[in-house]
Amino acid sequence: MGLPVRKSKVDAPPPACPLTEILTLLRGAWAPNVIWYLSAEPRRFGELRHDIPRISARVLSARLRELESRGLVTRRVLDSSPPSAEYALTGLGREMLPAIHALASVGQKLLSQRDATPAGKMKLTARGK
C-alpha cells in the first residue's frame, strides 16, 4: 500500500509558472546560441551561419522566425544588392542574457569537471556495480 497523498498547504497556485514562461521563450534547438551570438551586435544571416557552423540554414531560419515571433529578435531589411536582413536582440531578448550567461557558466564548470576526471576513476552508475 502506498503512502497517502497529502493536501497542499499553499493558499493558491500562482497564475503561471515564471520559469515555464521563460523556458517557453527559449525553446527550440539552437535558440540560446542564436541569442548568445546576437548579444554583442546585430548580425546578418550568413554571419550567424559562420558563428554557429553546426546549425543548418533551415534550422537557423526557423529559429530566427520563432525568436522574432516571440519578441526576442528584430529583423531589419537592408537596402543592399542582393537583398539582406540584419537581426538584433530586442529589449526582452537582452533581458535573457544574464540567464544564458549563468547557464553557460554552469555548463563550463561541468565540462571542466568532466575533463579533469581521469577515465579510469569514472563512477559506474549501472545497477549492481
- CATH code for the domain of 79: 1.10.10.10
Count of structural domains within the chain: 1
Q: Flag whether 26 is in a domain.
A: yes
Q: Flag whether 12 is in a domain.
A: no
Q: Flag whether 122 is in a domain.
A: no
Q: Flag whether 11 is in a domain.
A: no
Q: Report the pLDDT value the prediction gives residue 121, as an integer from 0 to 100.
A: 54
Q: 3-state DSSP call for residue 5? A: coil
First vs last C-alpha separation in the chain: 30
Closest residue by Cα to residue 71 from 35, 113, 46, 33: 35
Whether pTM > 0.85 for this model: the answer is no
Q: Flag whether 7 is in a domain.
A: no
- Report the C-alpha gap between 104 and 32 in whole angstroms: 10
Q: Report the pLDDT value the prediction gives residue 57, as an integer from 0 to 100.
A: 96
Q: Report the pLDDT value the prediction gives residue 10, as an integer from 0 to 100.
A: 82
Q: Report the pLDDT value the prediction gives residue 123, as an integer from 0 to 100.
A: 53
- Answer with the residue of higher pLDDT: 13 or 108: 108
Q: pLDDT class for 119, splitting at 50, 70, 90?
A: low
Give yes or no for residue 122 having a pLDDT over 60.
no
Q: Flag whether 125 is in a domain.
A: no
H-assigned helices in 1-129: 18-25, 31-38, 45-51, 57-69, 91-95, 97-116
Q: Flag whether 126 is in a domain.
A: no
- Answer with the residue of higher pLDDT: 115 or 38: 38
Give, as one character, the DSSP assignment of residue 119: G
Q: Report the pLDDT value the prediction gives residue 93, as an integer from 0 to 100.
A: 96
Q: 3-state DSSP call for residue 118? A: coil
What average pLDDT is seen over the chain?
88
Q: Which domain holds residue 38?
A: 18-113
pLDDT tens digits, residue range 14-70?
677 888 888 888 898 899 999 999 999 999 999 999 999 999 999 999 999 999 999
Q: Flag whether 121 is in a domain.
A: no
